[in-house]
Amino acid sequence: MSKSKEKLVEVRNLKKHFKVGRKQILKAVDGLTFDIYKGETFGLVGESGSGKSTAGRTIMRLYDATEGQVMFKGKSVHGKKTKDELKELNQNMQMIFQDPYASLNPRMTVMDIIAEGLDIHGLVKTKEERQRKVNELLKIVGLNEEHANRYPHEFSGGQRQRIGIARALAVEPEFIVADEPISALDVSIQAQVVNLLKRLQEERGLTYLFIAHDLSMVRHISDRVGVMYLGKMMEIAPSDKLYTSPLHPYTRALLSAVPIPDPEVERKRERIQIKGELPSPINPPSGCVFRTRCPFAKDVCAKEVPAFAEYRDGQWAACHMHDERFKEHFKSDLEKIQ
């Protein structure tokens, strides 16, 4: 469950569209609405091309929003800002990037990479204080002070991601967007990085938006999970409910692709196949965007966009199957999956 009822981040009808050529528009993010509560981890999952990373970057103001609003502590993130307002936002909201190889400047020492935020925000007064602070941060993320004068190429992927985490922590933010922070890492290192993020959250009261395509890892870190498909939110639920009783057929299909450690259970399990290819976000399907690949799709799914509504306590979905107006159409399907 959410750690607090205080909303730290509010996303309302967020859209990010890109122009492609002269006339075409790619709808990368197309009308997201959700909240992130103080102290929680909100997991955001979906296939490649679902728009989850674009959503994270738009929330962080790395992209301007095409439409909609992002509020941080009740104040709008987008729109015109004074230099001081921008500085405050940048200090409170930080990002850990997917690729630890590309996100660290190869010409800078680890000391300068981590201290960059400290310098910009004037958080250290002397060279000695700067060095002490960087050494502290290295220790916090499981590295040591001897690493401070080395360059990124001298480290493994897991170590580089720890440097990226130290850089994000340096300015003492309240909110961190972790954009697939473990997907470029060796499986043996992934759990270490997730455990580090969890420990830091407990110690520092951090709030995370954790973006990933690996549902099994999201389960270990997230309080609530949002499932995206083709720029839209399909389902939001507390982590335990999403994994044990998902509402949306797309969520079910994603979960059925996650292997279960017990070989006996794994053999008997019925997999839900997602048919066909992901449609183009330039020309998404009418009605429900998932209908062209959904095993339960009916005529109504092509004609009407499903409402994103709360069907169980804390569990929201955009699916006609659960809408009282259309339940009769899906009666046999619902009996199958209950």
Q: Please report the DSSP string for 119-161 in residue order.
A: HHTT---SHHHHHHHHHHHHHHTT--GGGGGS-GGGS-HHHHH
Spatial strand order of the sheet with 41-45 comes to 93-96, 175-179, 207-212, 41-45, 224-229, 232-238, 315-318, 308-312
Give the bridge partners for 12, in sequence order. 69
- Asked if residue 303 has pLDDT above 90, the reply is yes
Mean pLDDT, the chain, rounded, equals 92
Out of 51-65, 88-102, 197-211, 256-270, which region has the weakest mean confidence (pLDDT)? 256-270
Instruction: Tell me what the mean pLDDT of segment 323-333 comes to.
Output: 84
Q: For residue 263, what pLDDT band results from cuts at 50, 70 and 90?
A: low
The confidence band for 268, taking pLDDT boundaries of 50, 70 and 90, is: low
Q: Are 65 and 234 in contact (CB under 8 A)?
A: no
Break the chain into its structural domains and give their ranges: 7-337
Backbone dihedral angles phi then psi of residue 165, each to the nearest 5 degrees: -70, -40
Whole-structure pTM over 0.75, yes or no?
yes
| Rounded-to-integer distance, Cα 128 and Cα 248, Å | 55
Kindly indicate the confidence band of residue 338, based on its pLDDT and cuts at 50, 70 and 90: low
Instruction: Taking residues 276-289, report their average pLDDT.
Output: 93
- Please determine, for residue 265, whether its predicted confidence score (pLDDT) is greater than 60: no
CB 243 within 8 A of CB 255: yes
| Mean pLDDT of the 288-313 span | 95
Q: Sorting pLDDT into bands at 50, 70 and 90, what band is 2?
A: very low
What is the Cα–Cα distance from 81 to 1, expressed in whole angstroms? Answer: 34
Q: Are 63 and 51 in contact (CB under 8 A)?
A: no
Of 320, 289, 282, whose CA–CA distance to 227 is shortest? 289
Residue 184: per-residue pLDDT: 82
- DSSP 8-state symbol, 328: G
| Confidence tier at 159 by pLDDT (50, 70, 90) | very high
Kind plus residue range of the DSSP H or E element containing 91:
helix 83-92
Per CATH, the homologous superfamily of domain 7-337 is: P-loop containing nucleotide triphosphate hydrolases (3.40.50.300)
Cα distance between residue 257 and residue 241, in whole Å: 17
- Distance CA(221)–CA(239), nearest Å, equals 9
Residue 1 has pLDDT above 50, yes or no: no
Structure tokens at 201: 């959250």
Share of the chain above pLDDT 70, in %: 94
User: Distance between CA atoms of 287 and 107, rounded to whole angstroms?
Assistant: 50
